[in-house]
Structure 1
Amino acid sequence: MRKNKTVKRIWEVLNSEDNFLLVTHKNPDGDAVGSILGLYYFLLERNKKVDLYIPGGIPYFYQFLAVENLSTFDCNKSYNVAVFLDCGDVERIGENNGFIEKIPLIINIDHHPTNTYFGNINLVDPSASSVTEILTNLILKFDKNISEKTAECFLTGLITDTGSFRFSNTTINSLKTAIKLMEKGANISYISKEVYEKKSLSSLKLLGTALVRLRSEDGIAYSFISQEDMIENNAKIEDIEGIIDVIRTLRESKIAVLFYPISSQTTKVSLRSKSQSIDVGSIAKSHGGGGHKEAAGFEKLGKPEDVSKEIIQELKEYIKRNESFLISK
Structure 2
Amino acid sequence: MSKKHSNFEEVAKAIKEAGSIVLFPHVNPDGDAIGSSVALLLAVRKLGKKCTILVDEPVQSNLAFLDKGYLSVKSDEENHDLSIAVDCGETFRFEKRQDCFFKGKKTLCIDHHKTSVPFCDYNLIDPARAATAELIFYVIEALGADMDKEIAEAIYTGILTDTGSFRYSNTTGDSHRIVSRLYEHNIDSNRICVEIYENISESKMALSAISLGKMEIFAGGKGAISYVDRAMLKETGALMSDSEGITEDMRKISGVEISALLKEYDNNEIKVSMRAKSIGDVSTIGAKYGGGGHVKAAGCTLHMNMEKALKIMKKEIEENLNSYGI
- TM bracket, shorter-chain basis: over 0.9
1:282 aligned residue: 284
Whether the aligned pair in 2 keeps the contact of 1:18 and 1:49 (CA below 8 Å) is yes
Partner secondary structure for residue 323 of structure 1: coil
Whether the aligned pair in 2 keeps the contact of 1:82 and 1:106 (CA below 8 Å) is yes
1:300 aligned residue: 302
1:241 Cα shift? Answer: 0.6
Which letter maps to 1:184? H
Which letter maps to 2:197? Y
TM-score after normalising by structure 1: 0.92
Equivalent residues in 2 for 1:67-216 (5 A)?
67-68=68-69, 73-74=74-75, 77-141=78-142, 143=144, 145-216=146-217
Partner secondary structure for residue 43 of structure 2: helix
2:316 aligned residue: 314
Whether the aligned pair in 1 keeps the contact of 2:218 and 2:224 (CA below 8 Å) is yes
Q: Which moved more, 1:101-110 or 1:291-300?
A: 101-110
Q: Does 1:253 align with 2:253?
A: no
1:323 aligned residue: 325
Identity across matched positions, percent:
29
Structure 1 residues 243 and 190: alpha-carbon distance in aligned structure 2, compared to 1, 3 A threshold:
same
Q: Which moved more, 1:133-142 or 1:37-46?
A: 133-142
1:166 Cα shift? Answer: 0.7
1:318 Cα shift? Answer: 3.0
Structure 1 residues 287 and 2: alpha-carbon distance in aligned structure 2, compared to 1, 3 A threshold:
closer
Separation in 1 of the partners of 2:302 and 2:53?
28
In the comparison of the two structures, how many residue pairs are matched? 322
Structure 1 residues 193 and 78: alpha-carbon distance in aligned structure 2, compared to 1, 3 A threshold:
same
Whether the aligned pair in 2 keeps the contact of 1:214 and 1:222 (CA below 8 Å) is yes
Structure 1 segments unaligned to the other structure (5+ residues): 325-329
Whether the aligned pair in 2 keeps the contact of 1:254 and 1:273 (CA below 8 Å) is yes
Q: CA RMSD in A?
A: 2.0
Structure 1 residues 299-328: Cα deviation after superposition (integer angstroms, max 9, x where no partner): 11233343111220232233224318xxxx
Structure 1 residues 280 and 141: alpha-carbon distance in aligned structure 2, compared to 1, 3 A threshold:
same
Q: Does 1:268 align with 2:271?
A: yes
1:75 Cα shift? Answer: 5.4
Q: Does 1:230 align with 2:241?
A: no
Q: Which moved more, 1:217-226 or 1:133-142?
A: 133-142
Structure 1 residues 120-141: Cα deviation after superposition (integer angstroms, max 9, x where no partner): 1000000101111111123225
Structure 1 residues 308 and 161: alpha-carbon distance in aligned structure 2, compared to 1, 3 A threshold:
same
Structure 1 residues 287 and 266: alpha-carbon distance in aligned structure 2, compared to 1, 3 A threshold:
same
Separation in 1 of the partners of 2:229 and 2:79?
41
